[in-house]
């Protein structure tokens, strides 16, 4: 049967339209597929850029690897058992805390109460590595301590900021071993500054930073950082029963305490005669930390090398100096007789010098010994650690009173010839420089009467010197 021409033409047009529609649909689906492919984003790429990578995220990433988790073990006697036994039972109590790496060789700062009376200290780094630690220096008065781990790699160090320019309301971050949850980060603001806090009759703090960032048991000794990822404080305490009230030691106070602990720990007994101070000044739109020479003792190795007050120390050997404890870190492995290269800046010009470290026994500049005699009425002679180790193994040495003015302050305070002076206020005394450091301290007036610690007849004894104005 033959179709009429008209129907044939209509059928052809219909088939042609269906083909075009099919091709259009195919092209549309293809275009949509290509658009879908172009919009598909790698989830990993999304986390590397964009709004999710806030300043807080960057700050945590910058500092997290310089934070360590501390697990401790201490042994306590059972009070009930002591009543009925000559050999009371002992219980092991586990503790936790946080530490901040300040030296790539494994030097860590934490709170003193974290390591007080502990038998075992175990450190866990951010990469999961664990190591045993030992306490190398303590400052109970500031509630800070230094611990050390032995590592076979260079560790990341916490970037330092300052608390001098803190703003109430600015964002801060606490990182720590909160309730044993390692490297926990919490966000908050600076709630107040310069808070004086008394937790109990034995523990009080001055000029703390208050924050509402969550600080829990285990956070003690960990960092409080700003949004730039710089350390501004060491978390120390919470207010029991309160919410959002935590406290941190300002980083500037921590720097001072660590520097003093390291200076007292110079095992080699060497001496260079430099007194330094930390200085913070505005450079551009940010504050810059500087290490400034306050004094070069006359006749000392530092004076012979040409140092003057006001010089800015830049580096000791390969160690760049940001704060005063960097200077002490650079001298940790040195010994008497070493010629130490020092880079410094004077009137904007960078210069270099070498300081040859002297032994303590040869480090008694006239200005130092005369200064001690003039102020206290005593002449001091250094004695080494073995002479005091039988009394206290932690002592690094002392100063024997070789002569005494019967009318001087020391004699009037009960000191005698032959006493070994091992401490003034909170500082050990292993050289005349240590004594003069205390006597020239800008806060000396607040130390009055000045506590002293001596060894007499094989025992450590305590007294106080009533200073005159």
Residue 25, pLDDT above cutoff 80: no
What per-residue confidence (pLDDT) applies to 283?
82
Cα–Cα distance measured from residue 56 to residue 76, given in angstroms and rounded to the nearest whole number: 41
Q: What confidence tier does 311 reach under pLDDT thresholds 50, 70, 90? A: very high
3-state secondary structure of 117: coil
- Does 1 or 220 have the greater pLDDT score? 220
Query: Would you say residue 289 has pLDDT above 50?
Result: yes
Tell me whether residue 441 is one of the annotated catalytic residues.
no
Tell me whether residue 143 is one of the annotated catalytic residues: yes
Residue with more model confidence, 393 or 290: 290
Q: Give the separation between CA 144 and CA 251, rounded to whole angstroms.
A: 12
Burial class of 390 by CB neighbour count within 10 A (0 to 12, 13 to 18, 19+): exposed
Q: Residues 71, 103, 112, 143: which is the catalytic one?
A: 143
Asked if 85 is an active-site residue, the reply is no
Distance CA 343, CA 353 (A): 7
Per-residue tokens: 262: 């390291």
Topology of the domain covering 66-149: Thrombin, subunit H (2.40.10)
Query: Could you tell me the CA-to-CA distances from 15 to 7, 8, 9, 18 in Å, in that order?
Result: 12, 11, 10, 5
Paired tokens of 199:
């937790």
Q: How far apart are CA 30 and CA 38, in angstroms?
A: 12
Residue 57 has pLDDT above 90, yes or no: yes
Sequence spans of domains, the chain: 66-149, 171-253, 266-360, 364-465
Architecture of domain 364-465: Roll (2.30)
CA separation for the pair 302, 353 (Å, rounded):
9
Mean pLDDT along residues 285-308: 89
pLDDT digits (tens, 9 = 90+) for 87-143: 454 567 789 999 999 999 999 999 999 998 888 899 999 999 999 999 988 888 889
Say yes or no: do domains 266-360 and 364-465 share a fold. yes
User: Of 223, 290, 289, 215, whose CA–CA distance to 250 is shortest?
Assistant: 223
Q: What is the mean pLDDT of residues 82-87?
A: 46
Q: Is the peptide bond before 449 cis (omega within 30 degrees of 0)?
A: yes
**Quick one: which of 116, 118, 228, 111 has its CA closest to 177?**
111
Mean pLDDT, all residues of the chain: 84
When mean pLDDT is compared across 31-40, 178-187, 298-307, the lowest value belongs to 31-40
- Beta bridge partner(s), residue 51: none
Of 112, 113, 186, 326, which one is the catalytic site residue? 113
Supply the DSSP symbol for 377: S
Active-site residue, selected from the candidate residues 139, 220, 300, 431? 220
**Which CATH code fits 266-360?**
2.30.42.10
Domain 171-253, CATH: 2.40.10.10
Two structure tokens written together for 358: 């002297």
Residue 81 has pLDDT above 50, yes or no: no
Three-class secondary structure of residue 203 per DSSP? coil
């Amino acid at each position: 049967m033959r179709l009429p021409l008209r129907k044939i033409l209509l059928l052809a047009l219909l088939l042609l339209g269906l083909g075009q529609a099919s091709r259009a649909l195919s092209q549309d689906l293809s275009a949509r597929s290509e658009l879908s492919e172009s919009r598909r984003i790698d989830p990993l790429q999304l986390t590397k850029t964009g709004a999710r990578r806030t300043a807080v995220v960057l700050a945590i990433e910058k500092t997290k690897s310089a934070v360590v988790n501390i697990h401790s073990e201490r042994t306590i006697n059972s009070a009930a058992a002591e009543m009925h036994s000559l050999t009371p039972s002992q219980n092991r109590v586990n503790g936790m805390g946080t530490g901040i790496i300040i030296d790539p060789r494994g030097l860590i700062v934490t709170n003193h109460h974290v390591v007080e009376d502990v038998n075992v200290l175990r450190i866990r780094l951010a990469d999961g590595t664990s190591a045993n630690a030992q306490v190398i220096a303590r400052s109970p008065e500031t509630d800070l301590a230094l611990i050390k781990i032995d590592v076979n790699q260079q560790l990341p160090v916490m970037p330092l900021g300052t608390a001098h320019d803190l703003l109430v309301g600015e964002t801060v971050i606490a990182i720590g071993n909160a309730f044993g949850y390692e490297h926990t980060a919490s966000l908050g603001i600076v709630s107040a500054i310069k808070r004086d806090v008394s937790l109990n009759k034995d523990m009080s703090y001055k000029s703390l930073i208050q924050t509402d960032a969550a600080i829990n048991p285990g956070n003690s000794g960990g960092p409080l950082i700003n949004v730039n990822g710089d350390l501004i404080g060491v978390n120390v305490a919470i207010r029991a029963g309160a919410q959002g009230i935590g406290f941190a030691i300002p980083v500037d106070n921590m720097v001072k305490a660590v520097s003093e602990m390291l200076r007292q720990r110079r095992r080699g007994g060497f001496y260079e005669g430099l007194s330094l101070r930390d200085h913070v000044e505005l450079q551009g739109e940010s504050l810059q930390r500087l290490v400034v020479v306050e004094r070069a003792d006359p006749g000392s190795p530092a004076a012979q090398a040409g140092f003057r007050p006001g010089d800015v120390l830049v580096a000791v050997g390969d160690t760049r100096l940001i704060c005063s404890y960097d200077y002490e870190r650079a001298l940790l492995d040195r010994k008497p007789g070493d010629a130490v290269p020092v880079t410094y800046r004077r009137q904007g010009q960078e210069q270099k010098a070498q300081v040859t470290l002297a032994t303590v026994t040869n480090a008694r500049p006239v200005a130092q010994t005369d200064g001690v005699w003039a102020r206290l009425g005593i002449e001091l002679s250094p004695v080494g650690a073995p002479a005091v180790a039988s009394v206290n193994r932690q002592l690094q040495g002392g100063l024997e009173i070789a002569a005494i003015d019967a009318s001087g302050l020391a004699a009037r305070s009960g000191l005698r010839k032959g006493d070994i002076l091992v401490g003034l206020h909170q500082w050990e005394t292993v050289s005349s420089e240590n004594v003069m450091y205390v006597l020239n301290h800008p806060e000396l007036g607040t130390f009055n009467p000045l506590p002293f610690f001596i060894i007499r007849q094989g025992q450590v004894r305590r007294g106080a010197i009533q200073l005159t104005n």
